[in-house]
Structure formats: C-alpha cells, structure tokens
Structure 1
Amino acid sequence: MPYLKTYDLFISHAWDYNDEYYRLVAMLDGAPNFKWRNYSVPEHDPLAGGRRLAQQLDGQIRPVNAVLILAGMYVNHRGWIQKEIELAQSYNKPLIGIRPWGNYNVPQVVAMTAETIVGWKTDSIVGAVRAHAI
C-alpha cells in the first residue's frame, strides 16, 4: 500500500515523560505505509516559558492534522495539557487520546474531549490518526 497522505501531528508531552514520547515517535516512524511530520517540541530545542510558550504552542498546533495526547501525563501536567487541548479545540483539530501501557482508565477531560481513546499499539494509534485526522 503506498503512502496516501503525510500526517502533520502534535504529540502532547512533557520532558519528564520523555521515554513515552520517544517510544511513540519510534512507533509512528516504524509504522508501515505511514508517513508523518512531528510538530512537537524536541527536547534539545525547548520552547520559552510562560505566555511565550502558549504562543509557540499555538503555532505548532494550528497547522496539524491531529493532536495526540499521552493520557498518562495529564495528572502531573494538567495546566499545559489543558492549554494544548483548548488550542486544538479552537482550531477544530481532532484529539486522539493514548492510554498508558497497561491502563484502562484515562483522565475524564481527555475522555470527554478526544475523538477516540486508543491503547498503546502502533496499529491502533495509526488507525485512529487515519480515521480522525483532518
């Protein structure tokens, strides 16, 4: 199957959840017949803090086809993830929640705002992107 579309994605994350972020990037990079561009903030090139961070996040979320939320980090980083959710909603970007490995529950705000919640499997995540990305 040929590549049909290149998906522009923003992955909501925090650097103290680095391992999950990089694992997800590796999963997406390794998915067969799936091409994507990462609009997330790389650890080696962090954004500024405060109001400037909100403006920079806006610039990263505005052009994407979907926002992926690593639901396990919401509790510890509620403020910024909530801002990312609000930005995505303001641009009518679909939110795809990704349950932490081995968990069944996700924070209520993620469950209520996401188009879908998927498990930690490449096929599930890629399928959700293909089904819901704009």
Structure 2
Amino acid sequence: MYRLFISHSWKYSDAYDKVSSMLTQGGINYYNHSVPKDDPIHTNGTDKQLYDAIEAKIKGCSCLIILAGVYSTYSKWINIEIELANKYSKPIIAIEPWDSERTSSVVKNNATRVVGWNSSSLCKAIKELA
C-alpha cells in the first residue's frame, strides 16, 4: 500500500476527485495522507495548526502528488508542501493538467517527475518513486 499526500485546494475539489479516480483506475492501493476536507483545521484553525497538520501528513507519506496548474504558483500552501517534501526527502510527482497551456514552473522545477494527466503515467511514477 502506498502512502500518498495529494496536494489540493478544497476550492478545486473536482481535480482532487479526478486524481483519486485515476489512482483507483490504475489499481493503486493507497492510504490518503491528505488533510481531510471535514477537518476543522481548514475552517476554524490557525495557519500554524494547518502547517503542523500538513507537516505531520507529509512526514509519514511515501510521496506527494501536486497538480502543476498555474494557480499552484500562487498558493502559499503548495509552496509550503514543496518545502516540507524537500525537508523530509519525499519525492514529488507533478501532474500537468489536461490541455493546459501554462503550468506552474515552481511545481515543475521541484518535481521529481512530471507526468501527464492520465492514470497510466501517474501510477507508473508512483510505483517507481514511492
């Protein structure tokens, strides 16, 4: 079983759901280290509490999966996730969004591997890196 942290913004939960679906389609059995949507830290916690929760989740995962959309460049939390992944030597798999003309150079420059928006390339990267 793989221990995966799927970076996401709950504002864009459809992308998170699609990544989860790709993992299932690819036969990846995984434990989800992402901070759950129903965790009160998202809405009622402080930045420090969310940082600590993300750090604990990343510390115990095998690898991070981050969507490399342009919005990622401007997310302070994705930058923190990248920093924590590097701190704990966790591989980062960046997924280039389907039909995207612009992607986040911040995510791609920090990625161990950049894959396309498809189940087979994502699952192959997980099997090789996690």
Aligned equivalents of 2:34, 2:46: Cα separation in 1: 15
**Alignment partner of 1:129 is 2:106:** no
**Alignment partner of 1:25 is 2:20:** yes
Q: Give the 3-state SS of the residue equivalent to 2:18 in structure 1.
A: helix
Aligned equivalents of 1:46, 1:104: Cα separation in 2: 35
> Relative to total residues, which structure has the larger helix share, 1 or 2?
2
Decide whether the 8 Å contact of 1:31 with 1:126 is kept in 2.
yes
- Aligned length in residues: 126
**Alignment partner of 1:36 is 2:30:** yes
- Cα deviation per residue 1:30-76 (whole Å; 9 max; x = unaligned)? 323x2111111222224333111111101000011000001114034
Q: CA RMSD in A?
A: 1.4
Which residue in 2 is equivalent to 1:15? 10
Which residue in 2 is equivalent to 1:69? 66
| 1:46–1:26 distance in 2 versus 1, CA, 3 Å | farther
Which residue in 2 is equivalent to 1:3? none
Which residue in 1 is equivalent to 2:91? 94
Unaligned segments of structure 1, at least 5 residues: 1-5
Identical pairs, percent: 37
Decide whether the 8 Å contact of 1:99 with 1:105 is kept in 2.
no
Aligned equivalents of 1:36, 1:120: Cα separation in 2: 19
- Cα deviation per residue 1:74-115 (whole Å; 9 max; x = unaligned)? 0342x1100000001000000000011112542111121101
Residue type of the alignment partner of 2:51: A
Tell me by how many angstroms 1:27 deviates.
1.6
Unaligned segments of structure 2, at least 5 residues: none
Aligned equivalents of 1:104, 1:39: Cα separation in 2: 30
Which residue in 2 is equivalent to 1:113? 110
Residue type of the alignment partner of 1:43: K
Q: TM-score, normalised by structure 1?
A: 0.87
Aligned equivalents of 2:112, 2:64: Cα separation in 1: 10
| 1:25–1:46 distance in 2 versus 1, CA, 3 Å | farther
Runs (4+) of structure 1 exceeding 6 A deviation are: none
Aligned equivalents of 2:12, 2:31: Cα separation in 1: 20
